[in-house]
Structure 1
Amino acid sequence: MSIVVPKPQGAPRRATRGTELQSSVVGTRRDLPAVHQVLEQPRLVILQQRLDHTYLVEEVRVCLDAARQSLQKNPTCAAPSPESVAEQVAERLERWLEPRLKAVINLTGTLLHTNLGRSPLSEAAIEAMCNAANSVNLEFDLAMGRRGDRDNLVEDLLCRLTGAEAASVVNNNAAAVYLVLNTLASRRRVAISRGELVEIGDSFRMPDIIRKSGCKLMEIGTTNRTHLKDYQQAIDEGAGLLLKVHTSNYRIEGFVHEVTLHELSRLGREAGVPVIADLGSGALIDLARWGLAGEPTVGDAVDAGIDLVTFSGDKLLGGPQAGIVVGRRELVRRIKRNPIRRALRCDKIRLAALEATLRAFLSPRTVNETLPAYRMIARPLSEIETMAAQVRAAIECWAEGRAKVAVTRGQSQVGSGSLPGDTLPTCLISLTPDGAAVEALAHELRALDPPVIGRMHGGKVLLDMRCLLDPESLLRALRAKGSASR
């Protein structure tokens, strides 16, 4: 007797190409190493002494997930070994342990380069910062044994150097202008010449600072000519404050006119309206002896009778980032009582550096020997040429097979919105790449330790020797990578 087995409905399907691939993918993904296998690799064993185990595990999983997704897209590829995953993880983790803020060698030709931290600090300022890292009398009066004011650490020096009655310090000059306007003219009109509505770095504009401080902007005069009568008219129309901004990052020439600080201060006193001058660059001494003219000093503004003067600490002052307010005692007292000031104040490290920097100006004749910013400004061309000769051979050795090296004359600029249009003669070492793009050559210089930052111009990388503070650091960087990166 035969038994008939009924056929199933429809013929059995053959495995499709997609199904075969899916099976292959599953099999390949299963070949990925386990987390513990990766962690057992020597480089990660060493890193476990410096990093928490949780961070290592998370990074291993991130790398394994990336490998899993890669295999899903490319199923014919082999799964990575525990060793290769560990190398990936180690490279990611070691970047965490490397400082993101690095010392660089600025050879751009801009002495006070905003993107490179502006003014390099003096040895005295650096030592003061290190000392301030411990417990210090930041807001403690040692004589009286009670709470003190952190401004007292630098106020006497600022008054001595500028002739002002009182002073206060916040974290940058934009903050200083903001605080002054908010304290003295909130919800009132601030009159400013149209030719002084400056834009500073990263698109920060004076009109925006005025409005954000709670004041109403009152534009007067024209771009190139503003007269005393324009300020008088502004007062007649209700201006509660007169603001004069030194155009430190550009210059207008030709058919121009501006009101002097003396004229403006006299008008303000007669009308009972405060007059504020934002000098920006913060020069405490006359730079004419080094061939740089036209930069007003803070003392000049105070002598002219300006009620309050604001300026930066990290430009021509040669110190750390700070915004400084000096002027009449009663107005400074009101600024110190503004609650917003607490959000803008400086910490102990910055105040320590500022105090050390200010002390250098007690001897103006030797300021170029103590402050790096002035050392670069004051350098004679003969010294710069000697320095170029000192480092040229090492640069040629490093550039062999990469670029042709030559020494030429050029011009440096102070930078950071100071002395626009004024330049200083300098000596440049130019590198013309052999076939490669100039950007690639500049990138190789930035890969040195410490990174070397030049400027690209006319298909060349130019290294400005006026900026070079420490030739030995450049020589070490070049010799260390002379052949390794070829």
Structure 2
Amino acid sequence: MANNELLKALPKVDDILKNEALKGLEGEQVLISARKVIGELRVDVLNNSLTSIPDNDYIASLVLADINKARQNSLKRVINGTGIIIHTNLGRSCLSDEAAQAVYDVAKAYSTLEYDIDNKCRGSRLSHVEGLLKDITGAEGVCVVNNNAAAVYLTLLTLLNGKEVIVSRGELVEIGGSFRIPEIMEQSGAILREVGTTNKTHIKDYENKINENTGALLKVHTSNYKIIGFTDSVALDDIVEIAHKNNLLAIEDLGSGAIYPMGDKGIDEPCVQKSLESGVDIVCFSGDKLFGGPQAGIILGNAKLIEKLKKHPLMRVLRLDKMTLSALEVTLRHYKEGQAWDKVPTLNMINQSPQILYNRAKRLCDKVNKTYNVCAVVETESKVGGGSAPETELPSFGVSIEIPNISADEIEEALRLGDVPIIGRIFKDKFVLDMRTVFDEDIDYIAETLCK
């Protein structure tokens, strides 16, 4: 059939809207989807990729599928089978059940966000987390903003606008979204002074750069990359000593924000408490990386300096909302009560034993293989992710899925485009789900999806 005849054979939008499959559906989206589907068919005809026009029932089914897709939230939960624990694209750290419930409770009702019940007066929103952070870390002062980049920016803007800040060239990091330390510093009004080289910086490099306009020495933890080989850097203790000897501030951008030492897990990341013990004036870190809470920028240190940050007009721009504060408060309570390894999902995933991971993988395989023999337990390696411990690989177990006459790419696409997207990875031409980042409660759904 010629293109002109095919185009004439396309049904009118009104005819499709009268189809039985679409009866009872209301709203502008129905009309939008009908026009979209017929428009796509028209394009296929013009591109010579369609040789016959489907019947109206089939076209109506396409319209219905488009309506259902359009009505789904674009921000929705996924099942993470990548083995990357703090997966930036998938929302970084997950919250505990208690933290998620607390968010729900304050989101659907009024709350004590800025109300002091005991004294019947206006309260501070930071009061919900300030005491807990002091108890857990031993910090003098506490301030919390909406992410770590904001924490660094607020610190530099408030305390060092117009002053020189000395940073090692080997620590001029770029973080997610192409945000770079030099650019953040420039926007804050602080003046960057680089010292040393990419691979080596010495104490004398800092000392030789200090002048009458120097305001601080900044130590940036290179959490998302490692320089190995012929290297040398100046320890935080030495940075603090040089700074204080010259009446300067010592500031650390710690990034990942580990509260517990994790060397026995193969994760070599500095702890927040260790930084504070060094005498550093200000330390900043993320709430949703190794700390395992919601997105936040946590600033700890000298009480007088922290008070200046709290009073800056920009604090109103950067302050946390009630839902984030609620999640952060509950996460902090897990730490204070000694339950973080069990209840904070990020820490729990890091701490899972090989036997637990193997059992989870075998459970999924057994469920699927009862119907289709397509799954096998395989050894895998997980990553911490989120710009933390880039060299660390955690031994894990996963499930390899091979379906006859269906490629790994096709399996990946089908699972990714499901009602609840299942995200895995392709390794050696096989689709694999790493069990370290899969929750026990997701096993049944994955099995049911694979058996369809």
Superposition TM-score, scaled by structure 1 size: 0.83
Cα distance in structure 2, aligned partners of 1:409 and 1:185: 50
* Corresponding residue for residue 376 of structure 2: 406
Counterpart CA distance in 1 for 2:223 and 2:44 is 54
Deviations 1:445-479 (A, max 9, x none): 32445332222222222222222221x42223322
Structure 1 residue 310: Cα displacement:
0.6
**Equivalent pair of 1:433/1:460 in contact (CA under 8 Å):** no
Q: Distance in 1 between matches of 2:118 and 2:18?
A: 60
Instruction: Mark the CA change 1:397 to 1:101 in structure 2 (over 3 Å): closer, same or farther.
Output: farther
Pairing of 1:165-184 with structure 2 (within 5 A): 165-184=140-159
SS at structure 1 position matched to 2:393: strand
1:41 to 13, 16, 19: 19
The answer as to whether partners of 2:240 and 2:250 remain within 8 angstroms in 1 is yes
Equivalent residue number for residue 287 of structure 1: 262
User: Displacement, 1:245?
Assistant: 0.7
SS in 2 for 1:410: strand
Aligned counterpart, 2:347:
374
C-alpha distance in structure 1 between counterparts of 2:54 and 2:419, whole Å = 32
In the alignment, is the contact (CA less than 8 A) between 1:33 and 1:81 conserved in 2?
no
Q: Secondary structure at the match of 1:212?
A: helix
2:162 counterpart residue number: 187
Q: Distance in 2 between matches of 1:33 and 1:325?
A: 61
Gaps of 5+ in 1: 1-20
Q: CA RMSD of the aligned region, Å?
A: 2.9
In the alignment, residue 224 of structure 1 is paired with which amino acid? Answer: N
TM-aligned CA deviation for residue 148 of structure 1? 2.4
The code of the aligned residue for 1:476 comes to: Y
| 1:226-260 alpha-carbon deviations (Å, 9 max, x no partner) | 12222222222632221111111122233322222
Q: Does structure 1 retain, via aligned residues, the 8 Å contact 2:133–2:142?
A: yes
> Identity, % of aligned pairs?
38
2-side partners of 1:91 and 1:362: how far apart? 48
Would you say the 8 A contact 2:174–2:181 is kept in 1? yes
Task: Tell me if structure 1 keeps the 8 A contact 2:377–2:399.
Answer: yes
The aligned residue for residue 476 of structure 1 is 445
Please report how far the alpha carbon of residue 194 of structure 1 lies from its aligned counterpart in structure 2 after TM superposition. Answer: 0.8
Q: Which residue of 1 aligns with 2:116?
A: 141
Indicate the SS of the match to 2:348.
Answer: helix
Give the secondary-structure state (helix, strand or coil) at the position aligned to 1:253: coil
- Residue in 2 aligned with 1:244? 219
- Does 2:172 match 1:197? yes
The one-character-per-residue Cα deviations of 1:262-292 (angstroms, maximum 9, x if unpaired) are 221222222222221011111111123x433
Shift of 1:312: 0.7
Contact 1:25–1:72 under 8 Å retained in 2: no
Measure, in 1, the Cα distance between the counterparts of 2:418 and 2:36.
Answer: 30
The equivalent position to 2:366 in structure 1, one of 384, 388, 393, is 393
Cα distance, 1:467–1:91 mapped onto 2, change above 3 Å? closer
Larger of the two Rg values belongs to structure: 1
Q: Is residue 67–residue 80 contact of structure 1 (8 Å, CA) maintained in 2? A: no
TM-score for both structures, normalised by structure 2: 0.89
Of 419, 423, 433, 2:389 maps to 419
- Conserved 8 A contact 1:313-1:320: yes
CA distance in 1, matches of 2:280, 2:90: 33
Counterpart of 1:118 in structure 2 is 92
Contact 1:122 1:372 in 2 (8 A): yes
Q: Could you tell me how far apart the structure 2 residues matched to 1:214 and 1:413 are?
A: 37
Q: Distance in 2 between matches of 1:106 and 1:150?
A: 33
Distance, in Å, in 2 between the alignment partners of 1:304 and 1:204 is: 28
- What is aligned with 2:74? 100
Shift of the 448–233 alpha-carbon distance from structure 1 to 2, 3 Å rule, reads same
Check the 8 A contact 1:450/1:477 in 2, yes or no: no
User: What SS is found at the alignment partner of 1:418?
Assistant: coil
Change (3 A) 1:90 1:427: closer
Q: 2:247 aligns with which of 266, 272, 282?
A: 272
Look up the match of 1:363: 337
Letter in 1 for 2:352: R
Q: Which residue of 2 aligns with 1:8?
A: none
Q: Counterparts of 1:78 and 1:351 in 2: how far apart (Å)?
A: 58
Q: Would the aligned equivalents of 2:13 and 2:34 in 1 still touch at CA under 8 Å? A: no
Task: Tell me what 1:127 maps to.
Answer: 101
Q: Does 1:90 align with 2:64?
A: yes
Aligned partner of 1:13 in structure 2 is: none
Shift of 1:64: 5.8
Letter of the 1:169 counterpart: V
